[in-house]
Amino acid sequence: MTQLAMERTKLRAAKSNIPISLEYARLDLSDQSSIRNFVEEIKRKNYDIDLLINNAGVMWFPQSVTREGIETHFGVNYIGHFLLTMLMLPLLKESSRILCLGSSTSTYGSFDFGDLNLHKNYNRFLAYSNSKLAISHFTISLSEKLKQSKKKKSVFYIDPGSVNTEITKSMPFILRFLYATVGKYIFKTLYQGACCSVYASIAPELEDQSGLFLFECKKQHNVFRSEGKFNDERERLWIISEHLSNTEYPF
């Protein structure tokens, strides 16, 4: 949640060894000033950026808020990535790709625009699901805006499936125990969980296919709330997101 590894990879032809250069920059998605500082640092280094993966997240946190007073799941998993993406868009090369990591739990999401922070009836599962539903809407909205701006930048929604990671550390003890024991036999490994993201990052057949939802490296159709009848909900979410992040679409 508080550390993003910026991977600047230099690949050179070699028999069996592929040298990799890694650089790290601090990024706290629960603190919008940290996000802005991070982007300023990237600007100073003048990188050629081909790929942005919005992968960080929290899951089933106790009721809490970010530095800006936004419910933690919504603030970190969605608004933090919304702000980061808006600030990074002008820095991304043409034909670059943006990956937004989602979850099948988005199907359980349900927005109350009068209470996005869930003050009235906080529920960890609903809070997490709402943040992933927001990512789903964001993918569609951003893809449409990029097309309207005639920008050759693509955005994809990635459902990695159930992966055995440390994101479960904030779950109740019994659930953490089940993840650590039974989970290792039924959930994906880190390698397996990353496969779809890697595919979406480099697959040539996805060129000019912005807006796709991908699971198991395959296109998904009839995704929950992707229909046109939810355009009003998406537009309302976008307006609120710009307000909460104090930013706007740059093109």
Does 128 participate in catalysis according to the annotation?
Answer: yes
Half-sphere exposure of 148 (CA within 13 A, CB side): 9
**Catalytic hit among 128, 179, 199, 249:** 128
Q: Where are the alpha helices (DSSP H) in the chain?
A: 32-45, 72-73, 80-88, 124-148, 173-181, 183-186, 190-202, 231-245
Instruction: Read off the pLDDT of residues 11-51 as tens digits, 9 standing for 90 and up.
Output: 333 444 656 678 888 999 999 999 999 999 999 999 889 99
Helix (H, G, I), strand (E, B) or coil at 217: coil
Number of structural domains the chain divides into: 1
* Strand partners of residue 36: none
Q: What is the pTM of this model?
A: 0.85
Does 66 reside within a domain? yes
Query: Quick check: is 251 in a domain?
Result: no
User: Which tens digits make up the pLDDT trace of 46-98?
Assistant: 988 999 999 988 888 889 999 999 999 999 999 999 999 999 999 999 999 99
Range of the domain at 241: 3-245
Instruction: Kindly list the distances between the CA atom of residue 128 and the CA atoms of 96, 118, 122, 151, 229, in Å, as whole numbers in the listed order.
Output: 28, 11, 11, 31, 23
Evaluate whether residue 250 is within a structural domain: no
Q: Is the pLDDT of residue 206 over 60?
A: yes
CATH of the domain at 111: 3.40.50.720
